[in-house]
Each structure stands twice: as C-alpha cells, then as structure tokens.
Homo-oligomer: A and B are copies of this chain.
C-alpha cells in the first residue's frame, strides 16, 4: 500500500493481482450482476466509468467509496484525487487484464468508481428556486435518460423530475451516456404522480407538454409566451408519449414543426430542442 501523494485526503493506492480479491466486489461482473441497483434487492451502487465521468463523480454529491483502474488512469486522475474529494478512498490498481476479468468485459475507459446512493430530495424541495425543469414520464431507456441529462446540463435545465415509469438515472449506462451529468444535475422521483404536476403549477411553473400532435402549438410560439415564468418541460417515451393525464394537467401542448411526414424525433433530441428554445435569446 502506498500513498500517491502525502497530502491529506489523497487516495490509498492498493495493488491487486488476484481478480478474485473480495475487495473488488463492487466492480464484479458489471454486465450481469446488479442490473437493478435501484431496487431493494440491488446493491444500490452508482458506478462511474472513464476519467471524465469519474471526475464528475468526484465533483458531485456521490462520494466514491472505491476506485478500480489501471496505473495510466491513476496518473490522469491524480490531480482530481488529491483534494478533499476522496479522503482515504482506495484506488485498486490493476492490470488491464485483471480489470477485464473482474468487470467481465474489456473496458477501455480503464477506470471505474463506485459510490453509494444518497437520499433524494422530494419534488417540492428539488424545484424550489428552479427556473427551468424537465419532467419525464415513462422514459424507460437508459440511453435516452442519460442523453436528457447531458442535454439538460448543457442547455440550462436546473433539475429533473421523474414521473411514473422511468428508468433509474443512476444506472451505469445512463450515467455513462450522460457524460456524468446524471450525477450533477439534481433530480427527484415523484411519489405522487400525476398529482405532483398540480403541485408544480401551484408553485408557479407553467407546464409545457411535448407532443407530435399537429394541432399543438409550435415550439417557438409557445415558448415565447412563458419566457418570464418558471417552466417545466414534459416529455414522454418515444411511441406512447405522455399519458392523457399528464397532457390534461399541462398548460400548453407543444410540437416541433417537422418535415417529410416524419413521425417524431428521439425523445432526448426533442427535449434538447425545447431546452434550446428556452435558453435562446430573442432576436
């Protein structure tokens, strides 16, 4: 065992040669074990993959309890690890071969970090002070969820609310596709759906429901009417879209004008266009 740096708060670097070492259990067989870490039966761990996402985890509310990676990635991460973010946390330094055997596949990102989940705020707590939020219903695809976080982080979304039927935003794949923004953009899960939509309205949010319905208002026109108010952008899953209940609870039904008789855009792309229109400066 050797400290990378002597400064207080650095990680403990621990070399491990044996893939069966139980200290690596947080990272074992990632593709087959713990596919539902959010369930009571799951481990509850949040896994960050790759230097960039691990850096974002270190900057987030999810404090890693262990890291697994190659020496090369340790070097790349050292500036991030030598702060107060990772006091005394073990970095299990392994070869790429041992890493592949533990994880169950070759991971060319070369480093993983594992954190335990933290308590989530209520929807009311989450949205306090927010100007723009995304509200998701039935978005059960981890890639779409991750993309919505990435797009939201770049395009001014303050928080994300999950209605019914959404996938776990802290699942490894969602975190990876989000480029780590699922760890940074605050979110909450509604326990009272769709009634929480009424609560959002009572707190001053205008509710804008995205739909491919040609009778809906065009995005730019609709967004101009809510420019100075707190806004919730509601999106549903590709295919079914938002439920009738969610549509009815909304203030505005909004469509993206589309060409060529295309059915719809990907849900994360549609959300990005709404977020963009929200932040777009008036001409």
| Chain A interfacial positions (CB closer than 8 Å to B) | 147, 150-151, 153-156, 179, 181, 184, 218, 220, 224, 256-260, 262-266, 268-269, 272-273, 276, 279-283
Contact = CB atoms under 8 A, between A and B. Distances in A.
Given A154-B262, A273-B273, A273-B276, 19 more contacts: A147-B269, A151-B265, A151-B269, A153-B260, A153-B262, A154-B260, A154-B265, A155-B256, A155-B259, A179-B263, A181-B262, A218-B281, A257-B279, A257-B281, A265-B272, A269-B269, A272-B273, A276-B276, A283-B283
A276 B256 contact: yes
10 contacts: A147-B269, A153-B260, A154-B259, A155-B256, A155-B258, A156-B259, A179-B263, A269-B269, A269-B272, A272-B272
A281 B218 CA distance: 10
Name the prevailing secondary structure of the A interface residues: loop
Nearest to A259: B156
Given A272-B269, A283-B283, A258 B218 contact: no
A250 to B, nearest CB: 22
